[in-house]
Every structure is written in C-alpha cells, then in structure tokens.
Amino acid sequence: MSTTPRKYGELPWYHLLTMLASLAPLPLILVWTALVTSHASHNKGKSLRRILGERTLRYAARHTSVAQQQFVFGTTVTTYKRWSKQMKLDPIVDELGEDAHLMWIGPKRTDRVLFLCHGGCYFLPVTDFLLAFWQYVQLELKKQNVEIGIALLSYSLAPMAKFPTPAKQATLALQFLLDAGVQPGNLYLGGDSAGGNLLLQVVSNMLHPHTGVPQIRRTGGFRSLGLFSPWASFTTDTKSFQEFDGIDFLDRRILGAYGSELLEGYSEGDRAFAEPAKAPQDWFEGVGELVDHIFITAGEREVMHDDIVNVAQGLKKHHTNVELVVQEGGVHDDMFIDFFTREKKLSSLTPKVITWLATQEAALTYGDQFYFL
C-alpha cells in the first residue's frame, strides 16, 4: 500500500490499470462468498446482500492503494455535492478557511445542530452512504417533532495533511457554529471511526492545549458527544484485532499500515492525542465540564472493540454520564453499512442513535426529570 505524498486524487494512468486488474477477481470471490462463507456463524442473521457488501469493502481495502481510492472517491466536498444533486437538495457549503468546509445535510439552522466528523482513517473522504444514514436520522427525528441541523466537516486528508491540521480545522468549524449563534448546550458532536478520533483530539486540546490548535471560545459545555466505532488507537495489538480480523470488514494489516504512517506525524508528547485508548489515566480529567453526555458505540465483532471499550472506561473515570452500547454481532460502523447495501431491515444500532438524539432533546425540553419518567 503506497501512500507517497502527491496531489490529492492524482493517479498515473498505469495505476488505474493496476487497480482494475486488482479488482478483476472480485466477482468470483463474491460468488464463493455467497456459496460458502455466507453460511458462517458470524454471518447469522445477515442478508446475502449485506454479507457481499462487507466482503466487497474488505477486498477493496486490501487490494487498492490510498491514491487509487482517493482518485475514485474524490473529495468530501465533491461527494457531498454529487449526493445532494442525487437527493434533489441544494448543497450548502460554508468555507471556514485553512482548506476546511462545513456542509449541511438539509436546511442550515442555528437552534439545534449536530456537528459531524466523518471516518476514513484520515486518508479517505466521506461516503454517500454515510450522508444517507444521517439524512435518515434527521428525517426520523422530524417525525418525532425534533428538528436538528446537521453540519459535516470537510477536513484535509493524509498523506498530504498531518496532525494537528484536522484538529485545527475541526476547532475552526466549532468556533464558526458558536459564532453563528449556536449555543453550546444545543450543539451535539458526532464522529465515526477516524472522525471519532478527531473529536477526541478536540476534547484533548481543550484539556491539554496544543500549540498548533486554537482554543474554542464558549460559554458552557456541549450537549452531547457521540462516538461511533471511534478509532481509539493507531496500533493493532489488542485481542479483538486478532479475534475478528477476517470477520470485521476492516483489515488488521491495512489499519496497521495506516496507523503507522499517521503516528509518524506525532511527537512522543502528543501520542495521547493519537491514541486516547492508551492515554494516561488522568488524561480526560475535567471532561465533564466540556460536554454534558457521552454516547459511544462498538460492534461486538469489530477489530477496534477492545480499544473502544478502553477509551470508554477512561472517559467514565472522569464523567458520570457515559453510555456505551455494544451491538450484538456488530462490526465496525455497522449502521452505515446497511445504507451501503441498501438494507430494508436496519441494524439494531440505528434506532439507538436516533434515540440518543431524541432523548437528549427531550431532556432539554422537559428538564432532567425526563430521565425518570
């Protein structure tokens, strides 16, 4: 897997041919998967479409380079605009400076906002199925009379950008929302995979200021922090990486290569920013003053499971309102994969994410006594 720095999305023609050759065996592999491995115990309860979707993601990650994937997927902004056109929505993009953008799913608003950081191992842009998932959540909340704006950050990707650039861009985006009139208590933070890691970097910077990242000017704590299969360590040395490699669609070897390259951009003193699961026990002391509630999800069978549990335990030591949901049989970013394969029956995690936001909104409306009704 080559990640030699070059202009984003730039790919020599012969690399395109190499990619096509690498993907040529995929149809036969999917046939084999359908006939043989679809009956494995870890696939119980999954549709054939879902099983083949996970196998496709795993194969593509193993057999294509970062440069090839960036060429195919484009940027986060182009993906968002293309998806908006398909959905017949007007794209709304705020330019933040520092090559960062804020993109709105649905109407732009400042009363209630969910600020999102997408995953992709810091190397890859947002996917259209992640956008589809969050639009679904937004529409389901509307059915419950909960109106919320959703703003997605477009941040600079590796290998062109390194720490602390994404953390600086996320901080600029949050400051932009606050300056626009969003109250901290009405602002939700959500991030999956590397996006969860990025939000934990923002939290870490508020607790341990980094010279390369500005501080956020705010008048109170944020409403809630949602971490969905957060990438909590750039190394792959936990038991779950060994146990679920080949079951989860994420590949241990590929993640290890991504993580190793990313860690080169961190000094030893900044290591806790990269790997919150391995941070000192007092690293998150004071987090209760920054955010009122923390919601964390993990898949029972995802390779990152142990690191996610470790970071959840680290947060619980310094916050009394941390909720960890482990999805039975789930893999990494499980709820999004349903929208990749366009499942009719969604995973058990999707309604829990909707409930997370709906419950927090109800508590804002009715007060803390809502939890005891």
Q: Average per-residue pLDDT in the chain?
A: 95
Distance of alpha carbon 74 from alpha carbon 90, whole angstroms: 20
**Dihedral (CA of 246, 251, 252, 253) sign:** positive
User: 237 with 191: CB under 8 angstroms?
Assistant: no
- What pLDDT, on a 0 to 100 scale, did the predictor assign at position 365? 67
- What pLDDT, on a 0 to 100 scale, did the predictor assign at position 193? 99
User: 318 with 284: CB under 8 angstroms?
Assistant: yes
Does residue 5 have a cis bond before it (omega within 30 degrees)?
no
- pTM for the full predicted model: 0.95
Single-letter amino acid, residue 260: S
- Write out the two tokens for 252: 């241990």
Distance of alpha carbon 328 from alpha carbon 111, whole angstroms: 35
Q: Using 50, 70 and 90 to split pLDDT, how confident is the model at 366?
A: low
DSSP state of 120: S
Strand, coil or helix: 22: helix
- What pLDDT, on a 0 to 100 scale, did the predictor assign at position 1? 44
Residues of the chain with pLDDT > 90, as a percent, come to 90
Strands 291-299 vs 187-192: parallel, antiparallel or unpaired: unpaired
Distance of alpha carbon 234 from alpha carbon 37, whole angstroms: 29
DSSP state of 112: S
**Domain residue limits, the chain:** 1-73, 74-366
State pLDDT tens for residues 25-83.
999 999 999 999 888 999 998 999 999 999 999 999 999 999 999 999 999 999 999 99
Strand, coil or helix: 330: coil
User: For the chain, where are the E strands, in sequence order?
Assistant: 92-97, 100-105, 113-117, 149-154, 187-192, 222-228, 291-299, 322-327
* Mean pLDDT along residues 335-364: 93
User: 80 with 131: CB under 8 angstroms?
Assistant: yes
- What pLDDT, on a 0 to 100 scale, did the predictor assign at position 367? 59
Q: Using 50, 70 and 90 to split pLDDT, how confident is the model at 361?
A: confident
Q: Using 50, 70 and 90 to split pLDDT, how confident is the model at 4?
A: very low
State pLDDT tens for residues 72-128.
999 999 999 999 999 999 999 999 999 999 999 999 999 999 999 999 999 999 999
* CA-wise closest residue to 125 among 150, 86, 160, 98: 160
Residues of the chain with pLDDT > 70, as a percent, come to 96
State pLDDT tens for residues 295-344.
999 999 999 999 999 999 999 999 999 999 999 999 999 999 999 999 99
Strand, coil or helix: 93: strand
With tokens 């950008």, the residue in question is 161
Q: Tell me, which fold does domain 74-366 have in CATH?
A: Rossmann fold (3.40.50)
* CA-wise closest residue to 225 among 293, 287, 134, 319: 293
* Mean pLDDT along residues 236-253: 97
Distance of alpha carbon 231 from alpha carbon 246, whole angstroms: 18
